[in-house]
Amino acid sequence: MLEVLVLSFALSMDAFAVSIGLGIKSNENLKVLALKAGLYFGFFQALMPFIGYLGGVGLKDYIGSFDYLIAFLLLLIIAIKMIMEALGENVEEEITKVSTRILFTLAIATSIDAMAAGFSLHLFNLNIYLSLFIIGIITFIFSFIGVMIGSKGTKKYESKAEIFGGIILVIIAFKILIQNINF
């Protein structure tokens, strides 16, 4: 279960960073925006790993002997992407009004990586539904807090959160690789 907590934390960093940006840009009621961001990001961060998990389970018979390599590569790619995005331009800087459509789009965009990460969930001996619930709740909490931090104009945490999340995913990727290599 420790892996799920660490994975949840890492995956929620994208949503946290975007939520900070939303809080910075918003002129709306902050508690309502924070609740909406938490619900949207939390829901999609839980849904997308489930889709990835189903894909991993469905392909297990075909790729069972090297599925850990695929999980390793996917997590490594996600981590590199997160770190590169943190060092580059942020999409949410261009947002001036936070509509439901924008929240929906951002929630899907930030959770696509979680779908790929969900592929690795079948490698752990855990309850998938509890794992998805934990991923969703942790993302909800970080997104809510992110909007509140952003409302204070604290943009400096945005890229640091994504870099930290990327580093955690690298660690998880190597843990999967090391546990499955037969020396």
Query: Distance between CA atoms of 42 and 66, rounded to whole angstroms?
Result: 31
Identify which of 98-107, 131-140, 155-164, 167-176 has the greatest average pLDDT: 131-140
φ and ψ of 38, to 5 deg:
-60, -45
Segment among 15-24, 48-57, 160-169 with least mean pLDDT: 160-169
The mean per-residue pLDDT over the stretch 26-53 comes to 91
Q: b/e for 139-148, b at 16 or more Cβ within 10 A? A: bbebbbbbbb
**Cα angle: 100, vertex 49, 110; to 5 degrees:** 40
pLDDT of residue 97: 66
Measure CA 78 to chain center. Answer: 9
pLDDT digits (tens, 9 = 90+) for 79-118: 788 788 778 755 444 555 677 888 888 888 888 878 878 8
37 CB neighbour count, 10 Å cutoff: 29
pLDDT of residue 92: 46
8 Å CB contact between 119 and 63: no
Give 7's pLDDT tier (boundaries 50, 70, 90): confident
DSSP 3-state of 152: coil
Query: Distance between CA atoms of 146 and 155, rounded to whole angstroms?
Result: 10
Kind and range of the H or E element at 32?
helix 30-63
